[in-house]
Amino acid sequence: MIPNLFLLIYTASDYGFSNNSLIYKHDRKEIQKAFIWTVLITLSLTFNLLTSWIGLLSVTLFILFMSASILIKSRSDKNSWYILSELVNVAVALIFTLPLAGWLETHSYLRPPFVNYLLGLTVVSVVFADIFRRLGYLSESSGDSDGNFERILLFIFIMAWQWWYVALTIAAMLVYRFIRYRKVSKSWFMSPSTGIVFSLLWLLLMKSYLI
C-alpha cells in the first residue's frame, strides 16, 4: 500500500483550509491563508521526518513547490487552467510520493492505511466541494458545510460497511435540507450520489491495495 502523504498534504492544505476557487480569482486573503496552512499542515504531518536529510530536503522542496503553485494558480480563472494546474499539482505530489514510498512507510509516524483513509476523507469532502463550486452547483464563497458533513458521514459508514447508517444519513440530510432551505437544489442529490460512488470506489481501492 502506497503512503500518499504528499498528496494528503496537498489536498488538505489547498482545499481543506482555504477556498481553492477564490485563489484562482487572486483573492489575497485566501492566498495568504493557503501559504500559512501549507506550511502548518506539511510540518504537522512530516515533523518526525525532518531529522533525516532525505525528509528535510523532500519536505522543504515540497513546501517551495506548493508555495509557487499557489501564486501560479491566480494567473487565470479559466476552467482549462484550473484543470491543468490541479493535474500538475497531483502529478508533482505523486512524484514526491512514489520514489519515497518505501522510506515513508518505515519512517513516517503515519501508517499508509491511515494516510490513505484521511486522503479519501479529504477528497470526498472538501475537494468535491471545490469541484461543485467550479461547476456552479455552489457559490464561489460557499464552504458547503452541509455537503461536507454529509459526504464525510457517508464515507465513514461505507468504509465501515454500515449500510443502515448510510441510508439514515441520506434520509436525515434530505429532511434537514427541506426544513432549512425549502427550495430543492441539484446539490441535494449531487452531494450524496458523489459521496456514495466515491466512497465505494475508495473502499475497493483500499481493499485491493491499489493505493
Q: What tens digit of pLDDT does each residue of 20-62 get?
A: 888 888 778 888 888 999 999 999 999 999 999 999 999 999 9
Half-sphere exposure of 24 (CA within 13 A, CB side): 20
pLDDT of residue 32: 87
C-alpha distances (whole Å) from 171 to each of 88, 168, 192 are: 38, 5, 10
C-alpha cell at 176: 434537514
Helix, strand and coil content of the chain, in percent to the nearest 5, comes to 80, 0, 20
Cβ-count burial 156-168 (b if 16+ within 10 Å, e if not)? bbbbeeeeebbee
The rounded mean pLDDT for the chain is 89
Residue with the bigger pLDDT between 135 and 192: it is 192
Reported residue count of the chain is: 211
Per-domain residue ranges for the chain? 1-110
